Amino acid sequence: MSRSFPVWLLALVICTSIGCGGGDATDSPLVAEADNSSASSTAPMDMPAPSGNDGSESMEMSASSGMPGEIDASTYGAGGAGTEVAPGMDPADYAGMEAAGAEYAGTEADTAVGAMSPEDYATMAENAGADYEGAAMAEASEVTAGENYPGAAGAEGELPGGDYPGGEGGPGGVAEKLPEGFEGKAQHAFRRGKDRDAIQYLYAYALTTDAGAESVLPTIRWVAGLREPKLAVRWGVGFVVTAPRNFNGDPKPVGSKQNIPTRGGNRAAGGDGGYVGGGGEGDYGGGNGGAKNSLLSKGAGELGEKLAAAYTERLMRGDFGEVLKKAMEGGRGATQSGGEYAGAGGMGYEGGGAEMSSGPGGNAGGAAALTEVSNIMTGLSMLGIGTQKELIDRAREEDIDAVVIIDVKLRVNTSNGLVTNESTLALLDAKTQKKLHTTKKFNNITIQMARDEGKEDDVDKELESLFEAIDANFKMTDLPAALNAEVAAKRVAALVAEKRDNPLPILAEARMYNLKGMLAEDALFSTYEQVIGVDFGRKLATGEEEDKKQALSRWLPES
């Protein structure tokens, strides 16, 4: 189950993670080919493509994969891990490249490449963020309304209320009481960064009240890459890291600057550098001045800034679900109190066990955080550091749909201290583990040199191809025009046969078809009984509201 962490600790997770990457010819590729262990067999059915797709294509929907029409990764030029991004310059043109790349690894023992221990990652935080203007974490101790991500934990009790699932607060900034029941619990969960819990409460709200069904279920839409209808598309980002043994310095991600030596003297690189590629202090949030959060910018530099900005733009358009968009809008007005989401030198955080010590000195706490899932902003979670399998497992446990894995390989020049950081981003379907797109490598030295000479570096162009793949696979659209009673009945039958651990999405989808007049009431009630058992199914179908709540209680978060 996910927990929120202090800002400095989350910064530690990403910063230290991306600060590891090094790599030789034996490094494993960023993303292994997906295994077939997650595939399930259900009876598919043909269906014409929904609006926005080529009408000549047929789409197939099943319980496990929804409707076919799957996007081939090759459409987006999924690059192999060994392909370098072309910055419009030849590194050999720069005399400094010889000095920049020489004398990497003195002895094998001193420069062994491999995964770092959690303790090493935690220790690295002391040196990792000092050069980035965007990593001024001390300011996070003075968080004000609108400057934190909405899900980043608000105070218990009364929070700014408003329209579902969260308004901007009452007149004059007076906090309004949250709605009663599951609707209010969903709003509260979103504001605390508990997205999975919030979605579960929304399903329960829709299944136990007519008002909930009418407000929530119409927002279920089609997701082409998942080939099924969804209430929301939730995201996770994590790091796969390779680094020299015992490395705990600054990872120098793309967008930072270093003094790159040349034969005629030192190249002017701005002293200790400073962050040059992003939006100031990580202000890539969804409004009200942006959200001061340098987690991705500190760990992935400019790549993290631009990834978060692209995500936020799509979130606020409603591309990943109307419920997430409204939660983000409502969360902007939430005032943080109690130090639940503290910055460097902060006050720890409330909930989830013992208080974290202030400052980056506690290796044990930092090491533990590396393997935990935390909320970055509405709909977007940090998966920490690990192997691809570990990151995907964490995502699936949290019902996350799409994952961006940032693979970082780092080398250190032992003669001049230059850090070479090569980062690759891959887009995966969490359920199937299929790789949908992979960027070329982003080399921090090569990109800095190109920019110093006023040449193209192709960073924006390469990231745009990633965003196009995200839109093609995970942007929510209208349900297929060919969806009818026959198609809905087959879809529900296939879902029932799957026997998922979490039945609420199945029940909600069946109720949606019923609401649209595509599934008869007796078929709906039969579905309830097959999915959650006869007794609970009958309570959900015909019981009073309290009976319905009882029928679903085992799948809801503990209060």
Cβ-proximal residues to 141 (8 Å cutoff; 6+ apart), any chain: 342, 343, 344, 345, 346, 347
Pairing between β-strand 374-377 and β-strand 221-223 as defined by DSSP bridges? unpaired
DSSP type of residue 84: B
Sequential DSSP letters for 160-216: ---STT--S-SGGGPPPPPPSHHHHHHHHHHHTT-HHHHHHHHHHHHHH-HHHHHHH
Residue 360 and residue 8 in contact, taking contact as beta carbons nearer than 8 Å:
yes
pLDDT in tens, 230-283: 999 999 999 998 988 888 888 899 999 999 886 555 444 433 333 333 333 333
pLDDT in tens, 461-507: 999 999 999 999 999 999 999 999 999 999 999 999 998 899 999 99
What does R_g of the chain's alpha carbons equal in angstroms?
A: 24
pLDDT in tens, 25-51: 333 333 333 343 343 333 344 444 444
Sequential DSSP letters for 257-283: ----EETTEE----TT----SS-TTTB
In degrees, to the nearest 5, what angle opens at C-alpha 475 toward C-alphas 474 and 476? 110
383 pLDDT higher than 80: yes
Distance CA 251, CA 419 (A): 7
96 pLDDT higher than 50: no
237: alpha, beta or left, given left = phi > 0 and alpha = psi -120 to 50? beta
What is the average pLDDT across 99-103? 42
Task: pLDDT band for 199, please (50, 70, 90 cuts).
Answer: very high
Angle between helix 521-532 and 534-542 (nearest 10):
140
* C-alpha dihedral sign at 312, 404, 418, 414: positive
Give the number of other CB atoms < 10 A from CB of residue 265.
7
- Between 323 and 5, name the one with better pLDDT: 323
Distance CA 559, CA 557 (A): 6
Give residue for tokens 């509405």.
378
CA distances from 103 to 112, 246, 416, 515 (A): 14, 18, 9, 68
In degrees, to the nearest 5, what angle opens at C-alpha 315 toward C-alphas 314 and 316? 90
- Residues belonging to the chain: 559
Task: pLDDT band for 159, please (50, 70, 90 cuts).
Answer: very low
What is the pLDDT of the chain when averaged over all its residues? Answer: 69
Pairing between β-strand 374-377 and β-strand 435-438 as defined by DSSP bridges? unpaired
Residue 243 and residue 252 in contact, taking contact as beta carbons nearer than 8 Å:
no
Question: What are 504-510's contacts with CB under 8 Å, separation 24+?
Answer: 504/200, 504/203, 504/204, 504/207, 504/552, 504/555, 505/203, 505/231, 506/531, 507/203, 507/207, 507/531, 507/532, 507/540, 508/203, 508/206, 508/207, 508/216, 508/217, 508/220, 508/231, 509/220, 509/229
pLDDT at res. 200: 98
DSSP type of residue 412: E
Backbone angles phi, psi at 114, to 5 degrees: 175, 180
Q: Which of 176-180, 355-359, 367-371 has the weakest average pLDDT?
A: 355-359
First CA to last CA across the chain, in angstroms? 14
pLDDT in tens, 505-531: 999 999 999 999 999 999 999 999 999
Residue 479 and residue 222 in contact, taking contact as beta carbons nearer than 8 Å:
yes
